A and B are shown apart, each in its own frame.
Chain A
Amino acid sequence: MRKFKALFIVMLKNTFNLLDGRTKRSKLNKFMGLFLLVAFMPTLFSLYMLAKEGLFMLLPIQQEGLVLSLLFIALSSVTFFMSIFLVPAVYYFSKDSETLLALPLKAEEIVLSKFCLSVVYEYLTTFMLAIPVLVAYVQVMNPDVFFYVKVILILLLSPVVPLAFGAIIIMVIMAFVPFFKNRDLFNYASGFLALAFAIGINMVAGGTATLSQEKLLQMLTEGNNSLLAIFKFMFPNLPFAIQSLVDGSWISFILFLVITALVIFIFLYISKIIYFIGIIGVNETAAGRKQLNLKAYQKETSTKGAFMSYFLKEMRLMIRTPIYLLNNIATAFLLPIIFLVSIGSSIGSGEEELSTFINSIDWTNPDLLLVVSFAGLALGLMMSTMNLITPTALSREGSNIFFMKYIPMSYVKQIQAKIASGLAVSLFGILFSLIAAIILLKMHPIVIALILVMSIQGMIFMNYLGMIVDLIRPKLVWEQEAAAVKQNLNAAFTMIPAFALSFLPFMLMKYLPNNWFTVITIFIILSGINWMLIRLTTRMSITKLHALEV
């Protein structure tokens, strides 16, 4: 147990960069944290309001437990889903795995400390989701003191069962399916599975929303928290947790604890048998060691020019790193595909209203000018934000960023090449979506041109803004590539303005005259803003990279 404690503390410190006493939190960072909190406030608040409204609606029919059930089901499902990505990263592909293997540690000790680490990882999401709902619950229900004690314990333990299940599944796969021992293949496979899952959910949600509403109402009227039964709990301890919160039963609470402990026990027992089988030989990559033939050799060694070569290097590294491919590039396809699938399937399944509506749009109607322009702008902003290429362009370099400083290529040119990679993928996403839209919506050529022009303005804005954010706060210290994109707050800093700028124009629309003059004025203003942003990026490329020391 002592070994476990030491191991866990080291991992924890390492993950959250506490070991590095030298890095002081700057004022800027604190400010950014505050900014983020403020930015998330509206989401948290609407969650709170939703819970409150739900409670008031459910209270008369004695279904208030439903709110808690939904909360915990959401928490557990999200955690379980995330565990599919988290477990391989933490248990198998993290840099420390090989070092740990060489130390005289038992499998359970390693696994338990990694398990605790992943539980801690989940707390951010758990508390973000849970606190607004629980505040509403407390306000409406006014529960006794024991409720607080129980709810805190339950929240702290809530990631345990889904993470244990996720880990068991992954461990079995890693131990017995040799294919997945290659980290790259694993990342590709799980990533595309997730994308397919996202698209699938979208389709199912679209299809069943109308159906289940009636059923739901019928169930609701039956009363006395019987609704809890409709959820097939994948997580056997959850019903007891909810029961103990709703009617204050201590027996349920103890049962919750017992089942949770049992799951941990089973999990450790299984991991003792199979963890080492899976981890040995992880991290292999294919290598042919074949000599190039002359033609291929000449092709590989042709001159491309510094800028082009740098751009190609950016693209290659992005495409060949599974995490980046999925996060930075696959997203360009995701939105158009979801769009195509959901609209396409609605039309296909004979929803008359939609297709008649689409057919009835008169694209030449001048009233549509502003809507179309703003939609184009929003498309450009969204497609460029989602790929996260420029806000992570420096972060992805990690500890290798010093390379940028000793080669004889100006910082401005290097940054431009990085931005070019962002622009290329964004433009690709925009064109891909436009083609989808053209097929489905039968748009007029002028409308298409207007959307394209406006979306390019949005694209330039977002890509340069992203670059500026990364120049200001690159995240260079990370253990795994995933951290550079997924655990990088830069993403949030660009997403928030992107959402705001996408929706704000629609709100202002009714105050603006709907004609070409407005459209052209907006275009000129956007060009001006972009020009300034480009100038600023140029200036910051020089100053920030010069000041950067690694």
Chain B
Amino acid sequence: MIEIKNISKTYSGQVKAVNQLSLTVEAGEIIGFIGPNGAGKTTTLKMMTGILNPDEGEILLNGINIQSSPLKAKQQFGFVPDTPDMFLRLKGIEYLNFMADIYDVDENTRRERITKYAEAFQMTSALNDKILSYSHGMRQKIVVMGVLIHSPSIWILDEPLTGLDPQSAFALKEMMREHVALGKTVFFSTHVLEVAEKLCSKVAIINKGALLYFGSLEQLKLDHPNASLEDIFLKVTQNA
């Protein structure tokens, strides 16, 4: 469960990247976070994960405030950032094991999960190479695996599907579905409306830092009859 209460963020006193944003995500929901470039998606996700401090408002993850008890809150989620170019000189396996140590995953569980996810993402033979030698999509996959390995109850993903091949994208989407079926939460940003349509129970549309719509896509379509998803999206974000 994610509760975002009235958060705002202004960069260096000038750009108001997020403006009084509030939304509540119940357990068992997949939320697609959509909006044009520069809308404030990454900024919101960074505040949720403790990377940025909101100027006002508060964020609770499973009821724990990220500002006042950061360590406990950070144990609730796994985060996939928008740039997967991290720890390039570690081997894939070393990165995964490092994450497992940070999140205190026991030996048998981590082995099981590494084997399972490496197969799902076709990464088994790459694990022993340095991340530096990976393609963009492979880097994306290893970072996703670094989250999956500690099986957090909340997934926060910044454009996790960009760069993945169809097979891996399918695998990840399946995993998201399985995850929420267990009563857990997924919150991810995306530019692909079809993904949001097929996968998400609700979408949050943001532009210029303000939340324009939060609810199911069906409802949105009912509100705008006879329009394609793309048209609706363009209309909603334009009216802001």
Chain A interfacial positions (CB closer than 8 Å to B)? 22, 24, 285-292, 296-298, 300-306, 308-310, 312-313, 316-317, 320-321, 399-400, 402-403, 405-410, 546-547, 549-550
Contact = CB atoms under 8 A, between A and B. Distances in A.
A310 B100 CA distance: 11
Interface stretch (B119-127, B167-175, B216-224): B119-127
Interface stretch (B19-27, B32-40, B103-111, B227-235): B103-111
Given A289-B126, A407-B74, A316 B49 contact: no
Interface residues of B, number: 46
Interface of B: 11-12, 14, 46, 49-53, 71-72, 74-75, 79, 81, 83, 85-87, 89-91, 93-94, 96-98, 100-104, 106-107, 110-111, 114, 124-130, 132-133
Contact of B93 (A292, A306, A321, A402): A292
Nearest to A290: B128
Select the residue from A24, A287, A320, A406 with max chain B CB neighbours within 10 A: A406
A238 to B, nearest CB: 42
Contacts of A406: 49-51, 74, 79
Nearest to A283: B132
B89 A321 contact: yes
A137 to B, nearest CB: 47
Contacts of A309: 97-98, 101-102
A408 B89 contact: no
Given A310-B102, A405-B51, A288 B128 contact: yes
29 contacts: A22-B14, A286-B133, A288-B129, A291-B125, A292-B93, A297-B111, A298-B111, A300-B94, A301-B96, A303-B107, A304-B101, A306-B102, A308-B101, A309-B97, A309-B102, A312-B98, A313-B90, A313-B98, A317-B87, A320-B130, A402-B46, A402-B51, A405-B50, A405-B51, A406-B49, A406-B74, A408-B72, A408-B74, A409-B102
B71 A408 contact: yes
Contacts of A292: 93, 127-128
Contacts of A298: 111
A286 B91 CA distance: 12
B93 A550 contact: no
B211 to A, nearest CB: 22
A143 to B, nearest CB: 50
A285 B90 CA distance: 13
A298 B114 CA distance: 11
Contacts of A405: 49-51
A306 B104 CA distance: 7
Closest 7 CB pairs of A and B: A309-B101, A287-B133, A408-B74, A320-B89, A406-B49, A287-B129, A408-B75
Given A406-B74, A409-B102, A300 B130 contact: no
Given A291-B125, A301-B110, A402-B81, A285 B93 contact: no
Nearest to B74: A408
A291 B128 contact: yes
Contact of B107 (A302, A308, A407, A408): A302
B37 to A, nearest CB: 18
B97 A300 contact: yes
